[in-house]
Amino acid sequence: MDGTLMPQADIAPLVEIEDLTVRFTSREATVSAVNGVSFSVKPGEVLCILGESGSGKSVTLRAMMRLLPEKRTTITGRITIAGQDVLGLNARDLRALRGGLVSMIFQEPMTALDPVYTVGEQIIETLRKHRNMSREGARARALDLFELVKIPSPERRLDSYPHELSGGLRQRAMIAMALSCGPRLLLADEPTTALDATVQIQVLILLRRLQRELGMGTIFVTHDLGVASEIADRIAVMYAGRIVEEGPVADILANPRHPYTQGLMASTVHGQHRDADIQAIPGSPPDLRRMPAGCSFGPRCPTSQPRCREAFPPISHPSADRMVRCFREGEEAKASF
């Protein structure tokens, strides 16, 4: 591939999520972590899910892989990946899905990698399980992957344990493992959060290059607008377990329409003038154990109206490729934080 995205209009979605709801139940309370989320991703496309911590981004990705604890989790809705109904898969088919069709890069590789095995052994095991390769062939493939993700001295690093690698090298090893079986879909859960700025930029450039070269569909979770602007084709803005705005990255960044998106833009240095004040969104996200009756952003919204406290806003489509959930959509209301 030459790095140019494929035309998207006539391509069937690789991922379709419809009305996804995730509830965690304990003796004390029920937490509504994801509330009726719907989106799709086409092959070769990067969707960035953007929002504050606790908005349901990571839970959405883990629900897609069915990595949440079954005994206290209730998942409803529909998750379809490459035509497979993920919620209906048996244990054997689910194991084949994970790592084969779908791979995930976790937020902190030190907790995702097994500390008692070398990183090379962990990649080799993945290749032998999903690709039925010999140990020698799997090691050769692991070495190729380390070279692909630009790990220096790859032969020596294959035999290193996770604690012997820096944060940046562990993250690159995690990317190599995620790419080892040639997945069609890559899920990336804030993979650059624990890295310093220089390494973060290197990893982002690497991920974008590999995604384009391999043609993977990608869902990238972040709370950083700068990261989203570098890697995304489309952005879905998530708040309190719901997607409140969605559209092409350039349109969202140039013309945010939901007050929450406008607040995120105002509270970051990305794209701001040197002498501009950075304005924080007032208040805190809602308690997911006791969701408000109306718009979940209403208590923090400077343009809130009485109707916002009575019902959750319906979906509006200001254009064919934009979605917003706000009563004031179309009223040219710009939030001021």
Integer angstrom CA distances of residue 209 from 44, 214, 229: 12, 9, 15
Instruction: Tell me the pLDDT band of 204, cut-offs 50, 70 and 90.
Output: confident
Q: Is the pLDDT of residue 168 over 80?
A: yes
CA angle 46, 51, 53 (to 5 degrees): 125
Element (H, E) at 24: strand 15-25
Instruction: Give the predicted TM-score (pTM) of the model.
Output: 0.87
**φ, ψ (nearest 5 deg) of residue 124:** -60, -45
Distance CA 227, CA 2 (A): 23
Distance, CA of 246 to CA of 143 (rounded, Å): 39
Cα(328)–Cα(333) distance, rounded to whole angstroms?
A: 7
Q: Please name the amino acid found at residue 60.
A: T
Phi, psi of 154 (to 5 degrees): -60, -35
How do residues 210-233 score in pLDDT, each as one tens digit?
888 888 999 999 988 888 888 899
User: Over the stretch 169-187, which tens digit does the pLDDT of each residue have?
Assistant: 888 898 888 888 889 999 9
Which domains are delineated in the chain?
8-101+184-273 (3.40.50.300), 112-182 (no CATH)
Mean residue pLDDT across the chain: 87
Q: Residue 109: in which H helix or E strand, if any?
A: helix 109-112
In this prediction, what percent of the chain has a pLDDT beyond 90?
53
- What pLDDT, in 10s, does the model give residues 37-70? 999 999 999 999 999 988 999 999 999 999 999 8
Percent of the chain beyond pLDDT 70?
91
What length is written for the chain? 337
Confidence of residue 199 (pLDDT cuts 50, 70, 90): confident
